[in-house]
Structure 1
Amino acid sequence: MEAETVKYPVVRNYVAGQFVDTETANTLSVESPLTGEVLAEMPLSGAVALDTAVQAATAAFPAWSATPIKERVQVFYRYKALLERHMAELSELVHQENGKTLDEARAEVEKAIELTEFACSLPQLVAGEVMEVSKGVECRIEKRPLGVVASIAPFNFPNMVPHWTIPNALVLGNCMILKPSELVPLSAMRIAELLKEAGLPDGVLNVVNGDREIVEAICDHPAIQAVSFVGSTRIAQVVYRRATANLKRCVALGGAKNHLLVLPDAHADMTASNVAASMSGCAGQRCMAGSAMVAVGSVDHIISKLVEEARKIVPGQNLGSVISRQAKERIERYITEAEQAGATVLLDGRNPTVAGHENGYYVGPTVIDYVTPDMAIASEEVFGPVLAIMRTNTLEEALCIENASNYGNAAAVFTQSGGLARYVMENASAGMIGVNIGVPVPREPFSFGGWNESKFGACDITGKSSIEFWTQMKKVTTKWNPESRTNWMS
């Protein structure tokens, strides 16, 4: 049974190790999508609040960056233990403010722990390089932090996505401004408290709450050196353009339309369960959701099993809510428009009733067959537990549909043929590929990041690739022995 809704204290910004009030009287109600009830009030901070946080980060940077990385990482060893100790509490926060099931919320916190574990390995990955390049002449490369950086996080993973950036950026010596989604600010407050308990110096992490005004201020602030963003493609483009126009580094992750290519030889039971989980996990509110299935040839037997599996997914039991009433209405509008355009709704998740949560925002699992590529549901990101099935006769036709997408986060193929799987791996236009896996999220140390309009900027946001984003190289050439023979290199 779901836990009762808890009324939380007023959300506050976290600056220089303290929760502080802001200059604004403007607030936003934070609702639980499980019930529609108000959880807390949150300030809509402005540029003044951001500047205060940046000043705190700037003041903390000299001492933090000068601390040896072997010492910085000790904070995150302790922090990892705190995440494990507070697993139930952190999972409940995610459940309440985001609407995930408790099992999904726990999985999110477990991923945050894995991301923290990777950050603890960074001292071994960023050791400098040194070489004697000529007689008596030595060159070395060191990775140095950038300074004050910012992370703008989305609503769909209140705990995990901040951990895509916080552990790596801070272990590498930066100080950070975290801007959580205004829809889910509670987890960020607890993350800040636990990092302080782990020994993170005041000012190294600061949390500023708000909406569009804060995002724009982050992009414009002259003291912020780099910005990471996760959200919709439309906003990712705006953030990337604005941040880079202000001469900042930026990696901005956008939306997705991930295609699951199902071939006739696919293992029916495994494919059905994987596709159903991919389209409905986290209520479809993840950029790795398989929202478009391309049925190649005769796969009706698999589609039948898929619908059977999807029927086992029940709103309020093993399917959480979507984030808001507006999201529910938008998702259900896509279903209705596809049906009106001639698609066949095999499983209809519109307007489910969840006993005891009648005011919550739920959409049931929905499977729609005979969708055509020209329909909006075939190409646009729905961000709900909805699967659009398109049919083709050949794998080449299926790949043409996948390649035509503006997005490029993920794609997967279900087949027992290694040759066909390799063909898809080589020809799908996506940054993350799965073979018989519906959600091909790389595990650490492999990085997360898509192609095309699913990502803007160089480097990925996690894994080894993130090291290059959060650091800059210092090259040093030395010579101490004047008696050494010289040549054109020295």
Structure 2
Amino acid sequence: MSEIAHFINGQAVSGVSSRRQDVFNPATGNADKTVILAGENDVDDAVRAAKEAWPEWSKTPVLRRARILDKFKNILWERLNQLAEVISSEHGKTIDDAIGEVTRGLEVVEFATAAPTLMKGEFSENVGSDVDSHMIRQSLGVCVGITPFNFPAMVPMWMFPVAIVTGNCFVLKPSERDPSASILIAEWLKEAGLPDGVFNVIQGDKIAVDRLISHQDVKAISFVGSTPIANYIYTTGTAKGKRVQALGGAKNHMVIMPDADLEMATNALMGAAYGSAGERCMAVSVAVPVTEAVADALVHRLAPKIKELKIGPATDSSSEMGPLVTAQHLQKVVGYIDAGESEGADVVVDGRNFKQDKQGYENGFFIGGTLLDNVKENMSCYREEIFGPVLSVVRKNSYQEALDLIHGHEYANGTAIFTRDGDIARNFMQDVEVGMVGVNVPIQFQWLS
């Protein structure tokens, strides 16, 4: 069984901690690897390497830093399939979803290569008598990224390209559920010419996180994950005087108006709710049809499509949806379906009954797509983020009721409306208190651009 180590100061390091955790292939249910879980001393080593590399790296011309990232970008393009296969083997998502993830992350790398322009300062002459004003952008020092299991390549690439191209050094703490992608990224950055210590990977759990967010030499933290942990990291990090960006949970609604193209809306929901088995923060997990007639028609169209989903391992190119990431997460999702049923929701399509019959994959963490109808606002399947292939239908009688529903929920990453009415679409964009809004598109991006 292979072991996944840290990457500190340009090389793989086992560290001093004796703690280990199994890494599973979600499609087979087998533990194929183990990952080292860092202790505080290991974290200190990673931060020290970054701190020691920072003075020289911060003085490296920004054009040279951008060229290294440009070379890294080319390596990523050339080995995109290799990285996608590693992601699929540890996360479970289909190869197409994994390729889409890497491609999306690459867009941030491409953006970061524009740093020579983006880093330009400002100059104002005579802001006072014989006084000129200069504004320059300088790096902070050691920055930390703490990333979730659902996008083991894309979310880190939201963070480190911009951090390192602007002269910072970086310590990444990826999810211990699918850690291998982070090591490939580290190795390829080194191959692209990144100096040792500028990018480091520390594998671990809460012990590593707690040390990172309280370490005196860490200047800034970026986090993506659940809301309780986001709150914890934000309050702890800011109390220590650090700059913190903490992104938490989501519950994304899609409103279907009476004049909507129902076939378009149905197809959009299939990808948005069940793509990547619902394990993404921009998944549409709530459909809000306006009027009973629209709701009945929508459910009637959705149910057969959900039942026909091709569910299987990433190694099968015909698979449209893979397994969930762990057995524990599978049980959590099943628990939400159980709760929805017991609280009065109608289980129109029941994914709990799905059995994988492909040889060698019978013990994988598979679940079928699930459709819950007549869901109410007080149900746990509506209030909480499920992070699985479960779509809840909440019926409303008017546009205003649908809008009030969205505004009444604790979470809101994005939202969408399907309508043929230009006035309704514009009003929705203006009225809805959500940052990302789609009109006749289910989620606010496409994988391949």
Aligned partner of 1:302 in structure 2 is 298
Deviations 1:409-434 (A, max 9, x none): 11111111111112221222222111
Deviations 1:126-153 (A, max 9, x none): 2111121356532121111110010001
Instruction: Give matches, 1:72-471, under 5 Å.
Output: 72-134=65-127, 136-297=130-291, 298-299=293-294, 300-316=296-312, 317-354=319-356, 355-356=358-359, 357-441=361-445
C-alpha distance in 1 between matches for 2:50 and 2:405:
47
Rounded Cα–Cα distance in structure 1 between residues aligned with 2:446 and 2:146: 21
Paired residue type of 2:74:
A
8 Å contact 1:93–1:187 — kept in the other structure? yes
CA contact (8 A) 1:315 1:352 kept: no
Name the aligned partner's letter for residue 327 of structure 2.
R
* Partner-residue secondary structure (3-state), 1:150: strand
Cα deviation code 1:452-483 (max 9, x no counterpart): xxxxxxxxxxxxxxxxxxxxxxxxxxxxxxxx
Aligned to 2:50: 57
Secondary structure of 2:395 counterpart: strand
Q: How far apart are 1:85 and its partner, in Å?
A: 0.8
Question: Secondary structure at the residue paired with 1:391?
Answer: coil
Q: Give RMSD over aligned pairs.
A: 1.6
Q: Is the 8 A contact 2:103 2:447 kept in 1?
A: no
Code of the residue aligned with 1:233 in structure 2: it is T
* Counterpart amino acid of residue 423 in structure 1: N
One-letter identity of the residue aligned with 2:26: P
Q: How far is the alpha carbon of 1:444 from its aligned partner?
A: 12
Deviation at 1:111, TM superposition (A): 1.1
Name 1:480's counterpart in structure 2. Answer: none
Shift of 1:265: 0.7
CA distance in 1, matches of 2:130, 2:240: 42
Contact 2:289 2:298 in 1 (8 A): no
Give, in whole Å, the separation in 2 of the partners of 1:101 and 1:108. Answer: 11
Counterparts of 1:308 and 1:132, CA distance in 2: 68
Distance 2:397 2:431 in 1: 18
Determine the C-alpha separation between the residues in 2 that align with 1:44 and 1:342. 42
**Unpaired segments of 5 or more residues in structure 2?**
313-318
Q: Which one is further off, 183-192 or 425-434?
A: 425-434
Q: Is the CA contact 2:323–2:365 (under 8 Å) kept in the aligned structure 1?
A: yes
8 Å CA contact 1:403–1:429 kept in 2: the answer is yes
Tell me how far 1:306 sits from its aligned partner: 2.3
Give how far 1:303 is off: 2.8
Partner AA of 1:57 in structure 2:
A
Report how far residue 307 of structure 1 moved: 2.4
Runs of 4+ in 1 over 4 A off after TM superposition: 442-445
Alignment of 1:20 onto 2:16: no
1:189-242 CA distance string (max 9 Å, x none): 000000000000000001001100000001110000000011101111111111
Scaled by the length of structure 2, the TM-score of the pair is 0.95
Distance 1:444 1:148 in 2: 32
User: In 2 relative to 1, CA 284–443 (structure 1 residues): closer, same or farther, beyond 3 Å?
Assistant: closer
| 1:352-396 CA-partner distances (Å, limit 9, x unpaired) | 122221111111111111111111111110000100001111111
**Distance in 2 separating the partners of 1:149 and 1:267:** 46
SS of the counterpart of 1:381? coil
Quick one: which amino acid aligns to residue 387 of structure 1?
A: L
Distance 1:313 1:436 in 2: 23
Q: Identify which range, 187-196 or 432-441, moves more after superposition.
A: 432-441
Q: Secondary structure of the residue that 2:137 maps to in structure 1?
A: strand
Task: Report the TM-score when normalising by structure 1.
Answer: 0.87
Query: Equivalents in 2 of 1:201, 1:11: separation in Å?
Result: 22
d(CA) in 2 for partners of 1:441, 1:147: 32
- Matches of 2:448 and 2:223 in 1, distance apart? 20
Tell me, yes or no, if the aligned pair for 2:103 and 2:448 is still in contact at 8 Å. Answer: no
Distance in 1 separating the partners of 2:322 and 2:117: 40
Matched residue, 2:315: none
Once residues 310 and 213 of structure 1 are traced to their aligned partners in structure 2, the CA distance between those partners, rounded to angstroms, is 41
For 1:398 and 1:353, locate their aligned partners in 2 and report how far apart those are by CA, in whole Å.
36
CA positional deviation for 1:349: 0.9
Conserved? CA contact 2:104–2:447, under 8 Å: no
Contact 1:432-1:441 at 8 Å conserved across structures: no
